[in-house]
Amino acid sequence: MTDDDTALLDVNGLSLDFGSPRGRVHALRDVTVHVPKGRIVGVVGESGCGKSTLAFAIIRLLAANAEVTGGEIIFESRNLLELSEKQMRTLRGLRMSMIFQDPMTALNPVRSIERQMIDIQYRETSSQAGKRRNAVEALARVGIPDPENRLEAYPHHFSGGMRQRICIAMALLVEPALILADEPTTALDATLEVQIIDLLQNLQKDMGCSVMFVSHHLGTVAELCDDVVVMYAGEVVERGTVRDIFNNPGHPYTQALLECDPGRIHEPTRHLPTIPGNVPDLVGLPTGCIFKDRCRHAFDRCHVERPPHHRTGNSHTAACHLREEGVETGT
Partner 1 sequence: MWIYIARRLLLAVAIIVLAVTLLFVMIHSVPGDPAAIMLGPRATPELIAALHEKMGLDQPLPVQIVSFFGDLLRGDMGTDVFTQRPVSRIVFGQLPYTITLILTAIAWAALVGIPLGCYSAIRRNTLIDKVTGVLSVSTIAIPSFVMALYALLIFAVLLGWLPAIGAGEEGLWDHISHLILPAFAVGVGWVGYISRIVRASMLEILGENHVRMARAYGLPESWIVFRYALPLAILPTVTVLGVGMAHLLSAAVFAEVVFARPGIGALIVNAVDARNYPIVMGTVLVTTGLFVISTTIADLINAMLDPRVRESL
Q: Which is nearer to partner 1, 32 or 186 (CB)?
A: 186
CB of 14 to partner 1, least distance (A): 19
How far apart CA 108 and CA 154 sit, in angstroms, is: 9
Task: Report the C-alpha gap between 208 and 310 in whole angstroms.
Answer: 31
Distance CA 144, CA 85 (A): 34
90 binds partner 1 (CB under 8 A): yes
How many whole angstroms separate alpha carbon 9 and alpha carbon 37? 8
Write the interaction track for partner 1 spanning residues 31-70; mark x where CB under 8 A is met and - where it is not. ----------------------------x-x---------
Per CB under 8 A, the list member of 21, 110, 269, 274 interacting with partner 1 is 110
Count the Cβ atoms, other than its own, within 10 Å of residue 3: 6
Which residue(s) pair with 40 in the sheet?
Answer: 211
Considering beta carbons, is residue 123 or 266 the nearer one to partner 1?
A: 123
**Residue in 220, 254, 252 with CA at minimum distance from that of residue 240:** 254
Among 170, 222, 256, 295, binds partner 1 (CB under 8 A): 170
User: Is 92 among the residues that bind partner 1 (CB under 8 A)?
Assistant: yes
Looking at the Cβ atoms of 85 and 325, the one nearer to partner 1 is 85
What burial class does residue 329 get, using C-beta atoms within 10 Å of its C-beta: 0-12 exposed, 13-18 middle, 19+ buried?
middle
Q: Which is nearer to partner 1, 99 or 218 (CB)?
A: 99
Q: Which of 26, 50, 80, 97 binds partner 1 (CB under 8 A)?
A: 97
Which of 102, 223, 293, 324 lies at the binding interface for partner 1 (CB under 8 A)? 102
How does DSSP assign 124-135, residue by residue? --S-HHHHHHHH
Is residue 50 within 8 A of residue 31, CB to CB? The reply is: yes
- Residues from 113 through 142 that contact partner 1 (CB under 8 A): 119-120, 122-123
| Under rule CB under 8 A, residue 175 binds partner 1 | no
Q: Return the H-helix or E-strand segment holding 213.
A: strand 210-215
- Closest to partner 1 by CB, 49 vs 99, is 99
Query: Rounded to the nearest 10 degrees, what angle do helices 128-141 and 160-173 cross at?
Result: 130
Q: Does 89 bind partner 1 (CB under 8 A)?
A: yes
Distance CA 250, CA 74 (A): 27
CB atoms within 10 A of CB 299: 10
Closest CB to partner 1 among 36 and 93? 93
Contact footprint for partner 1 (CB under 8 A) = 59, 61, 88-94, 97-98, 100, 102, 105-112, 119-120, 122-123, 154, 156, 167, 170, 174
